[in-house]
Chain A
Amino acid sequence: MKMKTLKSMWGHKALYLILLPGLAWYVIFCYLPMFNTSSGGILLAFKEFRNNMPFSEMQWVGLKWFERLMNKPDFWIALTNTFKISFLRLIFEFPMPVVIAILLNEVRRYKPKRIFQTILTFPNFLSWVLVLGVLRDLLQVSGLLNGLRVAMGADPVNYLNNSDWLSNMLMVLLTNVWKSAGWGSIIYLASISGIDPSLYEAATIDGAGRWKCILHVTWPGIRSTAVVLLVLSCGNILNAGFDQLFNLRAALNIEHLDILDTYIYRYAFGMGKMNFGFTVAAGLFKSVVNFALLLTANKAAGWLSGETVF
């Protein structure tokens, strides 16, 4: 290390000192679980877990748990569900905040704009427990939605415990749009507010109507934000929304809504605690694939549009 660097560090010793609590937090709560010698961290994926036995004495089992994972049909079901749900989210949920932001920007009056924005962003601040608590009364058999169905002569449907794939997907997508689409639009509105108003004036003088202004001024102004967010969502494909799906699962929909995270939880805490090696392997598989997807998406975004996140 160069003398100059050391000198500069000494000169800023107060800054390093106040950095310490945060740094210590990351070490203890994020990095120790990955690597440590007492409980083993992610290396548990390659060991035979025994309760009350120190990590160093547990037997190495190589790739046993990964092989078992690959041979389990329910793992493949959870993995395909994860991909299906994530892709549906990318196709149907991802554009919603963009649409809301563009249209909200077209609301010219300040007051209604504020009111719309306040109402639309609010549900994001409730947990999934509360959101489902609120929506449950609409979705259940004796709920409002079924009241409408019955009034129109159809049979009531229990949306919350249902074996139909399409109905489950609709419920997952719509409840998430209900909760998060408005909030997601905030970041696009931020980008829109950064667009130079003279661009709109110039476009108008050139004869562009409202639609043309959206297409040639607003959209180019938020495209880079959209790319960044798309990259981040691609890096999150294997996540698929644990909070939501964990609280939505019921006896009949589990085959459609079981994703990797709920699968790992089920094996880790739902069926006795002897599955530790197996679930650590599943978690490690997920983290590694997720990370690889993120890097790939980042590269792909670089090729396609010249914008990258990292």
Chain B
Amino acid sequence: MKSAKRPIHTIADVLIYGFFIVLCLLIVIPFYNMVLYSITPYKEAVTTPLSLLPRGFSTVNYEMIFKDDRLVSAMLISVFNLVVGTAMAVGVTITMAYPLSRAIPFRRTLFYFGIFTMFFNAGIIPWYLVMRDIGMINSLFAMTVPSMLSTFNLILMRNYFLSIPDSLEESARIDGAGDFIIMVRIFVPLSLPIIATIGLFYAVWFWNDWWYPLMLIPSQKMMPLPLFLRNLVIENSIRMVDPNIGGTTDYLKTTSRGSQMAAVTVATLPILCVYPLVQKYFAKGIMLGAIKA
């Protein structure tokens, strides 16, 4: 590393490390606290004061939430959104970004056609009326199709394509390859870091989105996980209480908080597992994609 040649001041280094360690603790502690609360047995949660030390272990909260059909079906719907949505979104982003990165007539106009929507939109009512008219209300695809394309990801993708040398395209053309073959055989394989990056962005978006379902899915049966969690944690309009366990209202109240924490943990876990794996692509992907944006 070239930067190692720069001078090292020990005090400054200590301060900088200290700064980041404190910041990281501020982020890690709430997650730790959440997991801890979700596995704390009822009795300890009520009787002992709050602390960051473990107070026993119990899986009752997790057993309870997975007994709830609503949560299980919400998770299945979210998995469907994630898989189908991400596949469609990445596909359309690539096929739109590639032509916009080639020297074709009107590519600038077409690009601004997309960019304009980042800064000017119709507003929710006109949008909602169109969604209603094209049959999106309570449709399984209402949670993926209307929110499918992100102009930001389109820009990242296009800029990455632009950074690939033209000579590759020219030599393929001499070998007789057409535009489509060049895109699939040459440009897509060379763009895997950015495809992984925007794939993660889309996947996280479909896993997290509660707004489109809130607008377009009034049916309780089709509620995806984020909306379910919103009703559970933010609105408190869903209670996860199994009448078979426990008796007093006090007990019900406490476990509902514990089960909330368990549900949030379950929803966070997939992101936590996938994120570090994809993170290594960010460096390459974003850097080339974003600088020119």
Contact = CB atoms under 8 A, between A and B. Distances in A.
Given A197-B2, A280-B123, A290-B120, 5 more contacts: A12-B99, A16-B99, A41-B130, A132-B233, A204-B7
Given A22-B96, A36-B130, A194-B291, A103 B16 contact: yes
Contacts of B146: 29
Interface stretch (B55-63, B237-245, B260-268): B260-268
B121 A30 contact: yes
Q: Interface centre among B125, B183, B282, by most A CB within 10 Å?
A: B125
8 contacts: A8-B105, A14-B178, A116-B23, A125-B275, A132-B233, A137-B30, A194-B287, A235-B119
A287 B50 contact: no
B291 A5 contact: no
Contact of A14 (B49, B180, B208, B291): B180
Contacts of A40: 126, 129
Interface residues of B, number: 94
Interface stretch (A78-86, A104-112, A299-307): A104-112
B8 to A, nearest CB: 7
Interface of A: 5, 8-9, 12, 14-16, 18-19, 21-23, 25-26, 28-34, 36, 38-42, 44, 100, 103-104, 106-108, 110, 112, 115-116, 118-123, 125-127, 129-130, 132-138, 142-144, 147, 178, 182, 186-187, 190-191, 193-194, 197, 200-201, 204, 209-210, 213, 225, 228, 235, 243, 247, 264-265, 268, 276, 279-280, 282-284, 286-287, 290-291, 294
B7 A210 contact: yes
B contact patch SS = helix
A12 B208 contact: no
A133 B233 CA distance: 6
A contact patch SS = helix
Contact of B125 (A5, A132, A235, A280): A280
B210 A127 contact: yes
Interface string B8-25: 110011001101100110
Nearest to A35: B122
B39 interface: no
B17 A112 contact: yes
Contact of B6 (A8, A213, A283): A213
Contact of B30 (A5, A104, A116, A134): A134
Given A186-B282, A190-B287, A294-B119, A129 B226 contact: yes
Interface stretch (B69-77, B79-87, B110-118): B110-118
B6 A119 contact: no
Q: Interface centre among A25, A100, A178, by most B CB within 10 Å?
A: A25
B281 interface: no
Contacts of A210: 6-7, 9, 12
Nearest to B132: A39
A15 B98 contact: yes
A130 B272 contact: no
Given A18-B99, A22-B93, A134-B268, A283 B30 contact: no
